[in-house]
Structure 1
Amino acid sequence: MTSGTGQLRLLPWAGPGGKPCYLSGDGAGYLSRLADNMEAAQLGLAGELLRKAKHLLGKRQWTQGELHLLAVQLTEALGNVHRIAVSHSASLPAPSGNDLDTVNDLEDEEDEQDSSSPSVGR
């Protein structure tokens, strides 16, 4: 899909040999919808895996095999999420200085809230 600026869309799957696949179009076609659905599924699976990882690590009792499998699955999920982020960031306008100040202000507020609230289970 082109983002209105003539950019190609990085698809959420790789081609032969792991090479990236790109789509050119208006974003309304079958492949664009397929890519959107696949991205949603990949993000959903990444969220489920994150919950699974927190649960497994929270037990503080795991086998070497469990940790290895978790690392493999997290690596794959992170790769998918990274590809989606790269694809979507290519279609975003560059942030202005004001946008970055707003993000920094929000992060400062979150840090203040985190430090003032009691930490449970940390």
Structure 2
Amino acid sequence: MVSPSGQLRLLPWAGPEGKPCYLAGNGPGYLSRLADNMESAQLSLAGELLQEAYRVLDGRQWTQSELHLLAVQLTEALTNVHRVAISRGERLPAPADAYEDLDVIDDEDDQLDAPRPTQLT
């Protein structure tokens, strides 16, 4: 899906040689749905891993191997979450585009045209 800014969608998986994969096209096609589902799964797994990390660290009885495995898994999860954040951020409308359809009133012009209150004596 092309983002509102005209960019390609960064997919939540890497291609050959670890290079990023992008999707061009509009609409809710098969690859867009697959990417949405994979992003959801990656975020969910990262949340579960975070809970596991709290559990392991709270016990204060871990082995060096457990800490190493936890660090590897957290690094992988953080890499996925970072990719999802970049992908979703790139698909957000640009700030100027977000206000394009709004009627903006200039406060200074509005104050000049407004009738002045009368004072009662």
Same fold flag (TM > 0.5): yes
Please give the alpha-carbon distance, in whole angstroms, between the structure 2 residues aligned to 1:41 and 1:62: 27
Structure with greater proportional helix content:
1
Alignment partner of 1:80: what SS? Answer: helix
- CA RMSD of superposed structures (Å): 1.4
Aligned partner of 2:14 in structure 1 is 14
Alignment partner of 1:7: what SS? Answer: coil
Alignment partner of 2:32: what SS? Answer: helix
Please give the alpha-carbon distance, in whole angstroms, between the structure 1 residues aligned to 2:5 and 2:61: 51
Aligned partner of 2:34 in structure 1 is 34
Please give the alpha-carbon distance, in whole angstroms, between the structure 2 residues aligned to 1:56 and 1:95: 42
State the aligned residue count.
Answer: 96
Please give the alpha-carbon distance, in whole angstroms, between the structure 1 residues aligned to 2:27 and 2:36: 10
Aligned partner of 2:82 in structure 1 is 82
- Cα offset, 1:25, TM superposition: 1.1
Alignment partner of 2:52: what SS? Answer: helix
Identity score, percent: 74
Larger Rg: 2
Aligned partner of 2:50 in structure 1 is 50
Q: Which amino acid aligns with 1:68?
A: H
Please give the alpha-carbon distance, in whole angstroms, between the structure 2 residues aligned to 1:23 and 1:37: 15
TM-score in terms of structure 1 length: 0.74
User: Structure 2: which 5+ residue stretches go unaligned?
Assistant: 97-121
2:42–2:77 CA contact under 8 A, matched in 1? yes
Please give the alpha-carbon distance, in whole angstroms, between the structure 1 residues aligned to 2:67 and 2:27: 40
Q: Which amino acid aligns with 1:72?
A: V
- Cα offset, 1:95, TM superposition: 5.3
Aligned partner of 2:69 in structure 1 is 69
User: Structure 1: which 5+ residue stretches go unaligned?
Assistant: 97-122
